[in-house]
A and B are shown apart, each in its own frame.
Chain A
Amino acid sequence: MIEYFFSLVIITAIWALLAQSYNLSFGLTGLFNLGHIIFYGVGAYTAAILNTKYGWGFLENIGAAALFSGIFAAGFGLLTLRLSGHYLAIATLGAAMIASVIATNWISLTNGPLGIRGIDEPEIFGITIEADSLLFVLLYVTVVLLVNILLYKLFHSPFGRLLRAIKDDEIAAQAAGKNTFKAKTWSLILSAAFAGIAGALYTHYRLFLDPTIFALPEIIVLVLMVVVGGRGNFWGAILGTILVIFIGELPRFIGFPDSIIGASRNIMYAALLIGTMFWKPKGLFTFFEKK
């Protein structure tokens, strides 16, 4: 039972980081990028490949995943950020599907649909930390907390203000003398780097990685967490993550038969998403926002 609880905390921590990283580009900057999951996947594959092929450890992999996802996002941003609104949404959704196809077919690198096995558990100062142990929980919560502190500072910095201004009115931001394309690209790069860290955390927790990491349901859960909490609201993304994961576990708690657990979870997600849009379209946790 305690292991189940620990696993839930670890999953929540990883998703909280991923959701917060998405909140930076989608929520704060207003980039309707439906391909954010790519950066998570790139981070996860970076860690998995570096670990299994070159023996890189947990901490190096976090750095490498952030760096590689960030560089990837720079290219991605140069290609897509000239687009706006729905064009950006569909092009990036398409990019996520392309990523999934590449991960499935580039067998020599990713081992295709069979996935990568034999990933090492995190090792810090020579101590191996086992999954679902208290130490593992502490490690992951600490990493996620540290990265979230960085993100909090970024959200509330003058750069964060610039990103919010771009979301409000990009033309006005240009009229205020801001290079909005550069700011949007940096927002995407940073957001991707943090998603890459979340991906590395996922890899070193699950110890197995396959192309389903790029799947559509993952994208929808991510949108759900940020939108329910409140786009661009720092605390909203964290509370949104906790709420979504809690609701996702409910069917199992209630004791629904296995055959409909997935479906009933999706119905609850749908109700949460639609209910939020009707009741508080700016997110359920908008009361944490400064006036």
Chain B
Amino acid sequence: MKTLLDVRNISKRFGGLHAVENFSFAIEKNTIIGLIGPNGAGKTTAFNLITHFLPRNEGSIFFQEKNLKKKPPYALIRHGIARTFQQIRIFPELTVRENVLLSLSWKYDSWWKSFLLQDESEENATAYKLLSEVHLEKHRDEKAGNLSYGQSKLLEMVRTIATGAELILFDEPAAGVNPPMLNTVKKLIRNLKAQGKTIFIIEHNMPFLMEMAEEIIVMENGKFLCRDVPTKIQKDIRVLEAYLGGS
């Protein structure tokens, strides 16, 4: 299998604190990988480093064998890395459809093109299709700020998928989501896998991850702890100790 993302020895310090230290791993194309660890292990920081929302102190990240260096976050998305946030970030004053259209259409980002030709029928159709997958199509012309927590979460996921990225990072997709919606989330992720996408998930909900992930990476105190298939991770004594605050 081909390596899609190769993270080499990245570190991040806040003041004296090592949030992420010498962290390395690689992800193969078209897999679903989980990232777990106790609170404060540095999972979200790792996400922020991979997506360049935070600058790293050391290390390098290769995506599709290209060194990403210091590209700004928006440029990474054009390369094919997109992410959701632990604290949902949608555009509450935009309609649900506009939220999705925003990441679908690149061609009107410059004002003059936007000004001269404004045919978005194709994008509208795609947005409708994506929204139907998460049962939000009925709400497409409502303000996104009116959606429930779970719906907002689905919308954020759809908006992230709409960027067309190859690698998608979900930060706690199952947290605070009711069982029927959780099924929608699972279906969405399986569809992505079927389309050849690669998915990297931070999650505390272990049953969810046991079901979805092919492999799980465990972090502790900002460092790599271990990596294995879910069934083995579940039995790994080191993981248990990490969660119990041991070692």
Contact = CB atoms under 8 A, between A and B. Distances in A.
- Are any A and B Cβ atoms less than 8 Å apart in their complex? yes
Interface of A: 153-154, 157-162, 164-165, 167-169, 171-180, 183, 186, 190, 291
B143 to A, nearest CB: 7
A154 to B, nearest CB: 6
B77 A164 contact: no
Contacts of A176: 77, 102-103, 159, 163
Contact of B89 (A158, A159, A175, A190): A175
B83 interface: yes
Given A177-B103, A177-B106, A190 B77 contact: no
Contact of B74 (A160, A168, A180, A186): A180
A165 B115 CA distance: 17
Given A165-B102, A175-B82, A159 B114 contact: yes
Given A179-B72, A179-B74, A159 B85 contact: no
B103 A157 contact: no
Given A158-B105, A158-B118, A178-B102, A172 B91 contact: yes
14 contacts: A153-B115, A154-B111, A159-B108, A159-B109, A159-B115, A161-B94, A169-B89, A169-B92, A172-B89, A175-B77, A177-B78, A179-B74, A180-B74, A291-B95
Given A179-B74, A179-B109, A157 B115 contact: yes
B28 interface: no
Interface of B: 51, 53, 72-75, 77-78, 82-85, 89-95, 98, 101-103, 105-106, 108-111, 114-115, 118, 120, 141-143, 159-160, 163
Contacts, number: 98
B102 A190 contact: no
Given A172-B89, A175-B82, A177-B103, A158 B120 contact: yes
- The 4 A-B residue pairs whose C-beta atoms are closest, nearest first, are A177-B77, A158-B108, A159-B114, A172-B89
Given A154-B111, A157-B114, A179-B72, A165 B91 contact: yes
A21 to B, nearest CB: 14
B74 A157 contact: no
Contacts of A180: 74
Contacts of B92: 168-169
Contacts of A160: 114
A291 B74 contact: no
B90 A172 contact: yes
A32 B18 CA distance: 36
Contact of B111 (A165, A179, A186): A186
A250 B148 CA distance: 47
Given A175-B85, A176-B103, 7 more contacts: A154-B115, A157-B108, A158-B101, A158-B105, A162-B108, A168-B92, A178-B109
A271 B98 CA distance: 36
B102 A173 contact: yes
Contacts of B106: 177
Contact of A168 (B93, B108, B111): B93
Contacts of A162: 102, 108-109
A138 to B, nearest CB: 27
A183 B115 contact: no
B91 A175 contact: no
A207 to B, nearest CB: 34
A165 B94 contact: yes
Of B92, B111, B142, the most chain A CB neighbours within 10 A belong to B111
A186 B118 CA distance: 18
B160 A175 contact: yes
Nearest to B163: A177
A158 B142 CA distance: 17
Nearest to A159: B114
Given A154-B111, A154-B115, A157-B114, A164 B160 contact: no
A135 B151 CA distance: 56
Contacts of B120: 158
B33 to A, nearest CB: 20
Contacts of B72: 174, 179
Q: Which of A164, A168, A183 has the most CB of B within 10 A?
A: A168
A171 to B, nearest CB: 6
A198 to B, nearest CB: 19
Best-surrounded residue of A159, A164, A165, A172 (most CB of chain B within 10 A): A172
Contact of A158 (B114, B141, B163): B114
A171 B53 contact: yes
A157 B102 CA distance: 12
Contacts of A172: 85, 89-91
B93 A164 contact: yes
Given A161-B101, A177-B82, A178-B102, A183 B89 contact: no
A221 to B, nearest CB: 26
Contacts of B160: 175
Nearest to B83: A175
A157 B118 contact: yes
